[in-house]
Amino acid sequence: MVEPPRPVSVVSVVALNDLHLQLDFDDGLSRTVDVTPYVQGPHYKQVRLSEKFFKTAHIESGAVVWDNGVMLDADLLRYGPPKPPKPEKVKATKPAKPAAKAKPKAKSVKVVKAKVKPAKPKAPAKKVAKAVKPVKRAAKPAAKSKAKPVKKPAKKKK
């Protein structure tokens, strides 16, 4: 479909069978148009259902009109319906990593044996012996300690 370069008008119309119109336009184009896709609304019910009524098509102000007042625009009949605008292309970005997805349960697992090269022998690690002496800490007096003394529960008498 081509965008209309200028508005056109219908100069003659002949209603044919099966919702087809033979049209002549003011720009010199003659064509037969199937108007089935254009007469689908409830206002066009009489045009769709009655062939006798469909044949009452005539021209008013450059458009095709029927006796009940419904009409089809000449530009629609000449150029077809307008194309929807193309969506703007958006540069693809890497999707964000989803937060902790639940892993689906695997139905079957295929085990693949990988070829492993033997490791080169490493030089033995040097042993370093450290002399560790246990450090004895002297108990601090309770008065200087910030910790509260623990109370022992009293023994119950029988």
Contact 44, 54 (CB under 8 A): no
Q: What is the CA radius of gyration of the chain?
A: 46
What was the pLDDT predicted at 87? Answer: 81
Interatomic CA distance for residues 109 and 98, integer angstroms: 24
Please provide the size of the chain in residues.
Answer: 158
Instruction: Report whether pLDDT(36) > 60.
Output: yes
Q: Give the confidence band of 85 by pLDDT, cuts at 50, 70, 90.
A: confident
Spans of all domains in the chain:
10-79
Instruction: Report whether pLDDT(120) > 70.
Output: no
Average pLDDT, the chain: 77
| Fold of the domain built from segment(s) 10-79 | NE0471 N-terminal domain-like (3.30.2020)
Tokens (6 digits) for 70 = 């419904």
What was the pLDDT predicted at 79? Answer: 85
What was the pLDDT predicted at 153? Answer: 67
What is the number of H-type helices and E-type strands within the chain? 3, 6
- Report the predicted TM-score, pTM, of the whole model to 2 decimal places: 0.51
